[in-house]
A and B are shown apart, each in its own frame.
Chain A
Amino acid sequence: MDRLASQSTGASEKLLDIRNLKIEATVYPPGEAPRNIVIVDGVSVSLERGKVLGLIGESGAGKSTIGLSSMGYGRGGVRITGGEVILNGRDILKGGKGGLRALRGREVCYVAQSAAAAFNPAHRLMKQVVEASLKHGVSSRAEAEKRAVNLFRKLSLPDPENIGKRFPHQVSGGQLQRVMTAMALCSEPDLIVFDEPTTALDVTTQIDVLAAIKEAIRDTGVAALYITHDLAVVAQVADEIAVLRHGKLVEWGDTRQIITQPTQEYTSQLVSVHEIAHEEHAPGKAAALSVKNVTAAYGGGTIKVLKNVSVEIPAGQTLAVVGESGSGKSTLGRAITGLLPPLEGSITFGGRTLPGRLADRSKEDLRQLQMIYQMADVAMNPRQTVGTIIGRPLEFYFGLRGRERDKRVAELLDKIEMGKGFVDRYPAELSGGQKQRVCIARALAAKPSLIICDEVTSALDPLVAHGILQLLLELQKEEQVAYLFITHDLATVKAIADSIAVMYRGEIVRYGPKSKVLTPPFDAYTDLLLSSVPEMEVGWLEKAIAGRRMESAGN
């Protein structure tokens, strides 16, 4: 008797115990027999009541799949084929469909990456927030709605009394993410699965949502699985972190231990991902490109997206243009390339004034100014081989043909650290990082003096992005090419820029050499932006939020 009792209390301390989990899926490659692939292989983690476990890894690491397994759910034909998921002392995989339905929305709730898609567009928010509570008989509608309003208030949503009367499309993305958190908390579950809840948000919004989530977790005492690819983010909310790679557990430990003393090579790579050795160049004399007082607009001049922008890029150096979505940073790139001719102002390139329209520019100007895109997948013609993609600029600008051309293609492939074997491959046969490398080679093939890099690492996993950044820096040394680096990611900027321009609503709010731009005193927006970038440090979030409060009190 006693032994049994102690065992059961022992189990109840652990809210969730995932043992030896194996998850498989069937893939259907076109023109081939379907085959099974293993997504998660022998992972064991556990979580105590009221604690937060961070699951971290690259895309394809199986982190979301593990998170959803705590609700017995497999997305898109994914099957749990082995192991146990013990929640509140019982194996939920043995409970059948009815058992799973009884725990979903009651014991475990889910917060999705894109709340905008996860809310039903046809119903008002309140109806959806209280739905699970009513379904599982947690409380009456009136009580549930009262609790929801309190949660809205706790999560700092504007107008908590009435926001529930709105439809999802009437509320902003950051707010919807908080409403979704309220929805998860409303039925008073034991565990919430947060699946990249702040990834889709702008950096200044992310910090507020993150703080709201953390407070709500602390005040309600709910346990959480927090899934993200960003170690700095998870370090702010999690008590423990489990690092995953290719469906296997790499390392699992206390948050402080993981980020300060990682025991595994892979973990330490993740921790040091933003550290790139790059010495800031002194501002050079000769400018590769200078943009003077450029104003540009869409819709025939009605919507101004660039207002009187002036920047300069010294030859062989890097200018980073930072800003959030809608700041006009990508439009600046389009204006420089001639895709969006400026209404006013001038662009000088290599001492010549560039015509505004792309069609009026000389072939030489086009050659000197190359571009790399965010989505490497769609930046390459899927029907052309790597050889054709890299070889075309050689043919087009230098008239290279046949063996000469092939030799140069091989050299370029070598430069981007890919072998000759890739010449005959199609883009779909490459990994994300390899695709971006091929795009870099295509740009380099033209021997340009400036490359515009538009969010080139945003779609990549941190380690892959790190490799790309290092490659870009090396190439800059070898080829003396200047970069205009358009990004929303301040960590990248800190790593590779020589000078920085901060953009906000179409204007440049701060501009200068990196060391000056990143040193106080700051203007209000730069300060907000800088203080919003999560750092790999426990307790950073509280400091940042406290700093903001003090500032707003001071104002």
Chain B
Amino acid sequence: MASLLKLVAQRIALGLLLLLAVSVLIFVGTQILPGDVAQSILGQSATPQALANLREQLGLNDPAYVRYFHWLWGMLHGDMGTALSNGQDIATSLSGRLKNTLFLAFWAAIVSVPLAIILGLIAVRHKNGFVDKLISGLTLASISLPEFFIGYLLIYFVAVQMQWFPSVSTVYDSMSFLERMKAIALPAATLTLVVLAHMMRMTRAAILNVMQSAYIETAELKGLTPFEIIRRHAFPNAIAPIVNVVMLNLAYLVVGVVVVEVIFVYPGMGQYLVDHVAKRDVPVVQACGLIFAAVYIGLNIIADITAIVSNPRLRHPK
């Protein structure tokens, strides 16, 4: 047991270290490359004096590493600085949008994960049959479709032609839960379609891999029914790979959110990030980038820890 805890702790420590390295990378990526923040705020016509003053004010005259630690310290304390474009506090603007994004991603996951696993099981059950071939054909198509193609198809047919749902997903605080759900129906459906096929195909591969093991044959030769074989012998071994598949796809979903939010004009983190990239608002971009990366790394850590915990070799060492 102690060695298991140690492995988990190691994995978490590694993840944190990676996150730290990522923060350096994001910081360096926005600082060393050409482009002067002061210049971009004040524009080309700014006087040298005004530029110097602003540089002083933003601490741009300090060496890069001092600015990095300053920034990191702030981020760790929830102080993300102020946006250059409108002078608002980033943390305040972000919190509501982060909530919206997580709300959307959560519901997309709630729909897509069970659906993908069930469809994956069906594909395994009818391996090489018509359903299986159909599923793998659809997968091929769906990994080739851009998110906005799916999104605008849904808007065109479901929102504009049939008028079932709004084409623009406006949400505000005073909305009821049901109204909110209605607003996110189409973006959530788009996200689901984006990850579904991939998740299904990977689930299918993971289960097939387990089903081809020699111990499944042993179980069959004991006279167990297909259901008993899946429940007792396949399932315990398939959990880890399936969780892994789910986590990888959730990480993918986090990225897909950026484009989907823009399609549906949904007030989330992705929309916020894209707007401020266009405005070259570096502090906002840094903050958003770090948050997205943290979520992504976090999901990968969960996947690895599940694999460690569900491995009997690690749970019961020799």
Determine if B225 is an interface residue (Cβ-Cβ < 8 Å): yes
Q: Nearest chain-A residue to B224 (Cβ)?
A: A135
Q: List residues of chain A with CB within 8 A of the CB of B213.
A: 117
Name the contact of B223 in the complex, choosing from A122, A136, A167, A169 (C-beta under 8 A): A136
Q: List residues of chain A with CB within 8 A of the CB of B8.
A: none
Q: List residues of chain A with CB within 8 A of the CB of B232.
A: 123, 131
Q: List residues of chain B with CB within 8 A of the CB of A106.
A: 223
Q: List residues of chain B with CB within 8 A of the CB of A546.
A: none
Q: List residues of chain B with CB within 8 A of the CB of A373.
A: none
Determine if A112 is an interface residue (Cβ-Cβ < 8 Å): yes
Determine if B77 is an interface residue (Cβ-Cβ < 8 Å): no
Name the contact of A105 in the complex, choosing from B214, B221, B312, B318 (C-beta under 8 A): B221
Contact at A75–B221, with CB atoms within 8 Å? no
Residue tally, chain A, CB below 8 Å to B: 30
Name the contact of A120 in the complex, choosing from B219, B225, B228 (C-beta under 8 A): B219
Query: Smallest CB–CB gap between A97 and chain B, Å?
Result: 9
Contact at B215–A131, with CB atoms within 8 Å? no
Taken together as a complex, chains A and B put the C-alpha atoms of A106 and B221 apart, in Å, by 10
Taken together as a complex, chains A and B put the C-alpha atoms of A433 and B120 apart, in Å, by 43
Contact flag A101-B233 (CB < 8 Å), given A119-B215, A167-B316, A170-B316: no
Determine if B82 is an interface residue (Cβ-Cβ < 8 Å): no
Contact at A135–B313, with CB atoms within 8 Å? no
Q: List residues of chain A with CB within 8 A of the CB of B6.
A: none
Q: List residues of chain B with CB within 8 A of the CB of A170.
A: 316, 318
Name the contact of A118 in the complex, choosing from B214, B236, B312 (C-beta under 8 A): B214
Name the contact of A121 in the complex, choosing from B217, B221, B312 (C-beta under 8 A): B312
Number of A-B contacts (CB under 8 A): 74
Q: Nearest chain-B residue to A98 (Cβ)?
A: B225
Taken together as a complex, chains A and B put the C-alpha atoms of A121 and B240 apart, in Å, by 13
Determine if B40 is an interface residue (Cβ-Cβ < 8 Å): no
Q: List residues of chain B with CB within 8 A of the CB of A123.
A: 232, 236
Contact at B223–A104, with CB atoms within 8 Å? yes
Q: List residues of chain B with CB within 8 A of the CB of A167.
A: 312-313, 316
Taken together as a complex, chains A and B put the C-alpha atoms of A307 and B73 apart, in Å, by 56
Query: Smallest CB–CB gap between B220 and chain A, Å?
Result: 7
Taken together as a complex, chains A and B put the C-alpha atoms of A128 and B68 apart, in Å, by 57
Q: List residues of chain B with CB within 8 A of the CB of A112.
A: 214, 217-218
Q: List residues of chain A with CB within 8 A of the CB of B220.
A: 73, 104
Contact flag A105-B313 (CB < 8 Å), given A112-B214, A117-B215, A169-B318: no
Q: Which residues of chain A in 73-116 are interfacial with respect to chain B, using CB atoms and an 8 Å cutoff?
A: 73, 75, 100-106, 109-110, 112, 114
Query: Smallest CB–CB gap between B242 and chain A, Å?
Result: 14
Contact at B222–A120, with CB atoms within 8 Å? no
Determine if A71 is an interface residue (Cβ-Cβ < 8 Å): yes
Taken together as a complex, chains A and B put the C-alpha atoms of A75 and B212 apart, in Å, by 11
Contact at A110–B236, with CB atoms within 8 Å? no
> What are the interface flags for B298-318 relative to A under an 8 Å C-beta threshold, 1 for contact and 0 otherwise?
000000000000001100101
Q: Nearest chain-B residue to A76 (Cβ)?
A: B212
Query: Smallest CB–CB gap between B195 and chain A, Å?
Result: 28
> What are the interface flags for B89-120 relative to A under an 8 Å C-beta threshold, 1 for contact and 0 otherwise?
00000000000000000000000000000000
Contact at A132–B222, with CB atoms within 8 Å? yes
Name the residue in B219, B223, B225 with the highest tally of chain A Cβ atoms < 10 Å from its Cβ.
Answer: B223
Taken together as a complex, chains A and B put the C-alpha atoms of A375 and B255 apart, in Å, by 46
Contact at B222–A131, with CB atoms within 8 Å? yes
Taken together as a complex, chains A and B put the C-alpha atoms of A503 and B224 apart, in Å, by 46
Q: Nearest chain-A residue to B234 (Cβ)?
A: A120
Contact flag A104-B313 (CB < 8 Å), given A118-B214, A120-B215: no
Contact flag A118-B217 (CB < 8 Å), given A167-B312, A169-B312, A170-B318: yes
> What are the interface flags for A289-319 relative to B under an 8 Å C-beta threshold, 1 for contact and 0 otherwise?
0000000000000000000000000000000
Contact flag A135-B223 (CB < 8 Å), given A121-B312, A123-B236, A167-B316: yes
Query: Smallest CB–CB gap between A267 and chain B, Å?
Result: 30
Query: Smallest CB–CB gap between A511 and chain B, Å?
Result: 35
B residues apposed to A, CB below 8 Å: 213-215, 217-225, 228, 232-233, 236-237, 312-313, 316, 318
A residues apposed to B, CB below 8 Å: 71, 73, 75, 100-106, 109-110, 112, 114, 117-123, 128, 131-132, 135-136, 166-167, 169-170
Known: A105-B223, A128-B218. 12 other contacts (CB 8 A): A71-B221, A104-B223, A105-B224, A106-B223, A109-B222, A112-B217, A117-B213, A118-B217, A120-B236, A121-B312, A136-B223, A169-B313
Q: What 9 A-B pairs have minimum CB-CB distances, sorted nearest first?
A: A105-B222, A104-B223, A117-B214, A122-B236, A105-B223, A132-B222, A120-B215, A101-B223, A110-B221
